[in-house]
Each structure stands twice: as C-alpha cells, then as structure tokens.
Amino acid sequence: MYLGIIILPLLGSVASGLLGRKIGVWGSQVITCTCVITTTLLAMLAFYEVGLNGVAVNLKLIRWMESESLSVL
C-alpha cells in the first residue's frame, strides 16, 4: 500500500507519456485520473492508519551503504 502511493502517480505519468499517441487523449486521461484517485484513497487510508491510530510503519526498501560492520539503511 505504501509503495503504491509512490509508484502509482509515476506509473500513470509514464504510461500517458510513452503510450499517449497509441491510447489517445481519452485513454491517457482515464489512466492518469485512475492512478491519481487510487493514490489519493491510499494516502487517506495511510493517514488514518498512521496519523490517527498511531500505527508504526517501517519500510525497508534498499540498503544504501554496507561495509563490514557499518550498515546504513
């Protein structure tokens, strides 16, 4: 869910940017609006979960730097 908040707007913009001529104006509008609306709903759900209920969320995406005993996440 939390990764979807980041990935969906990017996916919508890339899809309408690269496929805009093939799917047309209406198709681009549907794809981008669907991605933005879904992102908004997920962000509202995340705000309710984290902001109002105080649930701690920890996402480990990648290790940034790792060297022997030093590990920076």
Q: What is the DSSP letter of 1?
A: -
- At residue 70, the pLDDT reads 73
Q: Is the pLDDT of residue 24 over 80?
A: yes
**This prediction's pTM:** 0.73
pLDDT in tens, 43-67: 999 999 988 888 888 777 766 677 7
Mean pLDDT on 16-25: 92
